[in-house]
Homo-oligomer: A and B are copies of this chain.
Amino acid sequence: MEGKKVLVVGAGPVGSLAALYAAGRGAEVEIYELRGDLRNDETTPLNFTKSINLALSERGINGLRSAGTPELLESILARTIPMHGRMIHTRTATGAISQQSQAYDVHGRFQRSVDRGELNKVLLDHLSSLPNVHFFFQHKMTGADFGKKKAWFEIMDKSSRTSEDRAREIEVSFDLCIGADGAHSATRHHMMKYARMDYQQEYIDCLWCEFTMPPSKSGDFAISPNHLHIWPAGSFMFIALPNLDKHFVCTLFGPVELFSRLETGSESELVSTFDKYFPGVTTYIPPADLLGQFKRNPHLPLVNIKCAPHHFGESVVILGDAANAMVPFYGQGMNAGLESVRVLFSKLDTMPDRATALAAYTAERAEDARVIADLALANYTEMRSSVTSPLYKWRKWIEEHLDKYVPSWGWATQYSRISFSNMRYSDVIQRSKSQKRILTSVLLAVALAGGTVPLAIVWWWLFGMRFQQRKIFNLTRSAR
């Protein structure tokens, strides 16, 4: 890649990491970003509220680690807060508040809560120090010719669409264009005119609204900082992730119908709904503050995007949400995006030419992307309801004990392989299926031998549930 011109579209975490990989290989890197520089707050018209916290796990860390810049990785990890497990908040039959901790991993591996903006800033600062990386903020991609390897960008500024502004467009040539410009990717849009791309997007029946939980009066975290907190409520839920400033960044997820009801209902309805389903929350976020945040902060949709191929010829490839936006319930969106960068460059490093490398990348990654998107959707059910089920806990217990006490069997839960390994997502599913077959056979044999058929049926149902493939694309719904 020495001396080649690499265009990165999008300066988010995934685009920044791709730029870092390309720069490390001697490319001349130009990063074009629609928004202003994140590090200069005044110019950044972010659509979301001031902070979004994400769970950084092995795949993301490995993506950062493989960039070969250990100080940068250290600097990022120093800005994370370990979350060793979920804290499940429920109310007991007597109405008392119950908090149950469920460890993520039997070997003590953990998720890390990180502020998306902070992570991004560290990456941008590092990139700014590299001589072969150049930033072009407030540049909007307006067109691309992936045959001739040219792209066009419009220079945006506050004074909007007058003819003169529109004339301020630049033409850029490149050897390789990497599109990491998010779910509404312009790169993907223009690539679709060249690649015969199968593409699906679906909005799921779930909106989200962000809340901030302030520190306690003593200035400390209001609740345990080393957990991802969940208030499961069946068809909806509330979660909280710790932030370095001792706040928690919280999110309400729920069906459109719930949001409509809360938006149009009385103020007391919101508070009483929280008190009923999310016990304790109004202790940490006072009701007036809760109401204000619900009114002030946007109520946003969730979209699921799958497509293939992820590249065209030898000139363009899309990564991250641009190729594969998923719902946030497995905490894998950014991790998958950062992993994509590692996989892409491993192909580029080892294949004889770029066209072959990009084709190999699509062949591997489109499949994995499809798998994790489906798992993320399925995990919504787990987080908002299954976590409280005794059967769920029993299964988790058995799987984890097999993992811990018979390590030679190579047993592991699906969750730990997704979150704490770098095994391909599609291989994780295969391994989980194979484990299911073995366990089912053993239990069936035991059941038949002992006559305890009901046990076998429960087991079958239990494991069957875990591997259910949800049919997620259903366009029968015609109107909203």
A-to-B contact residues, CB < 8 Å: 142-143, 152, 161, 163-164, 166-167, 169, 171, 184, 189, 193, 196-203, 301, 303, 306-309, 359-360, 362-367, 370, 473, 475-480
A363: which of B200, B306, B478 is its contact (CB, 8 Å)? B478
A196: which of B184, B301, B475 is its contact (CB, 8 Å)? B301
Given contacts A308-B475, A475-B306, A475-B308, contact A196 B164 (CB under 8 A): no
- Can you give 9 A-B contacts (C-beta < 8 A)? A143-B161, A163-B169, A166-B166, A166-B167, A197-B203, A200-B473, A308-B477, A366-B479, A370-B475
- Most chain B beta carbons < 10 A, residue from A167, A171, A309, A370: A167
CB distance A201 to B197 under 8 Å? yes
CB neighbours (8 Å) of A362 from chain B are 478-479
In the A-B complex, list the 3 residue pairs whose CB atoms are closest, starting with the nearest.
Answer: A366-B478, A363-B479, A167-B167
A475: which of B166, B167, B366, B477 is its contact (CB, 8 Å)? B366
Chain B's nearest CB lies how many Å from the CB of A106? 33
CB neighbours (8 Å) of A167 from chain B are 163-164, 166-167
A200: which of B161, B169, B309, B475 is its contact (CB, 8 Å)? B475
Chain B's nearest CB lies how many Å from the CB of A143? 8
Question: How far, in whole Å, are A221 and B189 apart by their CA atoms in the complex?
Answer: 44
CB neighbours (8 Å) of A193 from chain B are 184
Question: How far, in whole Å, are A142 and B167 apart by their CA atoms in the complex?
Answer: 13
CB neighbours (8 Å) of A366 from chain B are 475, 478-479
Chain B's nearest CB lies how many Å from the CB of A255? 14
Q: In the complex, what residue of chain B is closest to A474 when comparing beta carbons?
A: B198
The SS class assigned to the A binding surface is mixed
Q: In the complex, what residue of chain B is closest to A150 when comparing beta carbons?
A: B161
How many copies make up the complex? 2
Chain B's nearest CB lies how many Å from the CB of A163? 5
CB distance A198 to B203 under 8 Å? yes
CB distance B370 to A309 under 8 Å? no
Question: How far, in whole Å, are A30 and B212 apart by their CA atoms in the complex?
Answer: 49
Chain B's nearest CB lies how many Å from the CB of A136? 17
CB distance A198 to B201 under 8 Å? yes
Chain B's nearest CB lies how many Å from the CB of A198? 5
Question: How far, in whole Å, are A301 and B163 apart by their CA atoms in the complex?
Answer: 37
Q: In the complex, what residue of chain B is closest to A479 when comparing beta carbons?
A: B363
Chain B's nearest CB lies how many Å from the CB of A206? 11
CB distance B166 to A161 under 8 Å? no
Q: In the complex, what residue of chain B is closest to A477 when comparing beta carbons?
A: B308
CB distance B203 to A201 under 8 Å? no
CB neighbours (8 Å) of A196 from chain B are 203, 301, 303, 480
CB distance A199 to B200 under 8 Å? yes
CB neighbours (8 Å) of A480 from chain B are 196, 309
Question: How far, in whole Å, are A248 and B301 apart by their CA atoms in the complex?
Answer: 51
Chain B's nearest CB lies how many Å from the CB of A173? 13
- Most chain B beta carbons < 10 A, residue from A171, A198, A201, A473: A198
- Given A198-B203, A365-B478, A367-B478, 13 other A-B contacts at CB below 8 A? A143-B161, A161-B171, A184-B193, A196-B303, A197-B203, A198-B475, A198-B477, A200-B475, A308-B478, A309-B479, A309-B480, A366-B479, A370-B476
Q: In the complex, what residue of chain B is closest to A359 when comparing beta carbons?
A: B479
CB neighbours (8 Å) of A197 from chain B are 201, 203
Question: How far, in whole Å, are A167 and B162 apart by their CA atoms in the complex?
Answer: 9
CB neighbours (8 Å) of A161 from chain B are 143, 152, 171
A169: which of B166, B301, B360 is its contact (CB, 8 Å)? B166
CB distance B200 to A200 under 8 Å? yes
Q: In the complex, what residue of chain B is closest to A154 when comparing beta carbons?
A: B166
Q: In the complex, what residue of chain B is closest to A168 when comparing beta carbons?
A: B163
CB neighbours (8 Å) of A201 from chain B are 197-200
Q: In the complex, what residue of chain B is closest to A169 when comparing beta carbons?
A: B166
CB distance A198 to B189 under 8 Å? no
Question: How far, in whole Å, are A196 and B473 apart by their CA atoms in the complex?
Answer: 14
A202: which of B169, B198, B301, B476 is its contact (CB, 8 Å)? B198
A473: which of B301, B363, B473 is its contact (CB, 8 Å)? B473
Q: In the complex, what residue of chain B is closest to A362 when comparing beta carbons?
A: B479
